[in-house]
Amino acid sequence: MALVKTIYPDSEDQTPIPNSISIFLAGTIEMGKSEDWQTKTVNLIQNKELNTAFTIYNPRRLKWDSTWVQSPKNPAFRYQVEWELEKLEQCNGIFMFLDGATKSPISMLELGLFKDRDLFVCVEDDFWRLGNIQIVCERYDIECRVIPAKAKGQYGEFELAVLDYMLQYKLPF
């Protein structure tokens, strides 16, 4: 089993594993509209026989408060956004998943902001802005995999493909 530490914005311990590969799980969350693909991805990495340690930054909070006002004046909201930006800037690689049942505007913003990083995008074929995502990825030479929306709930192939991509083409960081 791979050595994996998952760090959430609300994790007490924010220290990464020393000398580990750090991965940020960007993409669809939209609480209630998307399944927790991040946990499935972490479990897959954790259960793979690898001689590499991973620190996974998962922006999906363990305890989300949906009453937060999304304003820079709200300290909790500001912390969440700044935590995500900081970890996106610090990580070795970014895995991004765009669920066709969502709009995911923040994820699309992050795609533009971090287009020059080690980034892998997986998008469902019914995503409302699929063409935009494909053109941006093509223009900036970002690996983009389109998967059928009918595979919803079966992201195992996605996680394996992403992990294999990172291991085969992006190591060493």
CB 132 within 8 A of CB 156: no
Hey, what are 102's tokens?
Answer: 């969502």
Domain boundaries along the sequence of the chain: 3-169
Does the 3-169 domain belong in CATH 3.40.50.1370? no
Between CA 45 and CA 132 the distance in angstroms is 29
End-to-end CA distance of the chain: 21
Q: pTM to 2 decimals?
A: 0.90
User: pLDDT tens string for the chain (173 positions)?
Assistant: 789 999 999 999 999 999 998 999 999 998 767 888 888 888 878 887 778 899 999 999 988 888 999 999 999 999 999 999 999 999 998 999 999 999 999 999 999 999 999 899 989 999 999 999 999 999 999 989 888 877 655 555 566 666 666 665 454 43
Degrees to nearest 5, angle at CA 11 with 8 and 13: 120
CB 92 within 8 A of CB 21: yes
